[in-house]
Structure formats: structure tokens, C-alpha cells
Amino acid sequence: MGIDYLLPSKAKEYVDTKVRGYLEGVQGRVDQDISSGLNLVKENRWKIGIAFLFLAIFYLAIESIKLVGASNFPTLAAIVSLVALFFFAGGFLVLLNIFMQLVTPIGLASVVRALLTFLNKSPKGPIAAGGMLCLFVSFALRYHYHA
């Protein structure tokens, strides 16, 4: 933030232009990660649909056990519960596998994308915006840290 006071305006514009160009390149690579994550969802849409179908079958099987009454037919309830467990495990593990593949390209890249957008769109320039972020972090560490 102090760059506004320490550098002449021409030097500040030069530095901001260079930094903005670098940040736009990083932002382009982050956008590629996000689009690859969305492509992963598109490629696995059938797996996701079948996994949700398995979870719905699990839910219906458990509700049917409640409806019929497990105490009336304990053997039937045990068999239906075991089959329902297989459906739950299959659906849950497929969704967990796809989710874990999406954490980095979409989860982390989205946060980085938001920060880069803030830095690039700041009216004072990316250097001043970076200083503002450092100021926010220092306030957070100073006033919210309990040792």
C-alpha cells in the first residue's frame, strides 16, 4: 500500500503493468484448471447419476425396512440392510472419488482465482491490493490469535 507514496507515478504504472501482466498469465492457468475440473464432471456425469441412484435405492431400502417393521421380519430386514449397505458404499465411494479429484482443480483454484481477480481489478493497482491483503492478514493475526 505504501507504493503509492514511495514511487513516482510513472514508475508505479510501469510496475503495475508488469505485475498485472504476470497475474493475468497465472489467472489463465488457473482458469484452465477450473475448466479441466468442470470437464471432469461432464465426463463422469453418468457415474455421478448412477451413484445418486444407488444412494436413492439405499434410502428407499432403509425406509422400506421402517415401513414394514424390522421386528416383524428380522431376517428380511437384515438382508435388505446388507443389500442397502452395498448400494450406499458403491454410490458413496464413487462420489468421494470424483470429489477428491475436484478438490484441487476447482476448490483451490477458485480461491486463487478470486484473489487474482481482486488483485487485477483493484483501482489502485495490483501492488497496492497486495499490500491491502497483507494488511488484512496482519490484522487477522494480531486481533484473532489467542495463545
Over residues 76-98, the pLDDT tens digits come to 888 888 999 999 999 999 999 99
User: Which residue segment(s) compose the domain that 42 sits in?
Assistant: 3-144
Can you give the pLDDT at residue 103? 86
Task: Note every long-range contact of 127-135, with CB atoms under 8 Å and residues 24 or more positions apart, other chains counting.
Answer: 127/3, 127/12, 127/15, 127/16, 127/19, 128/1, 128/3, 128/4, 131/1, 131/2, 131/3, 132/1, 135/1
Into how many domains does the chain fold? 1
Is the pLDDT reported for residue 16 higher than 70? Answer: yes
Residue 58 grid coordinates? 439405499
27-62 pLDDT, tens per residue?
999 989 889 988 999 999 999 999 999 999 999 998
89-129 pLDDT, tens per residue?
999 999 999 999 888 788 888 888 999 999 988 888 888 88
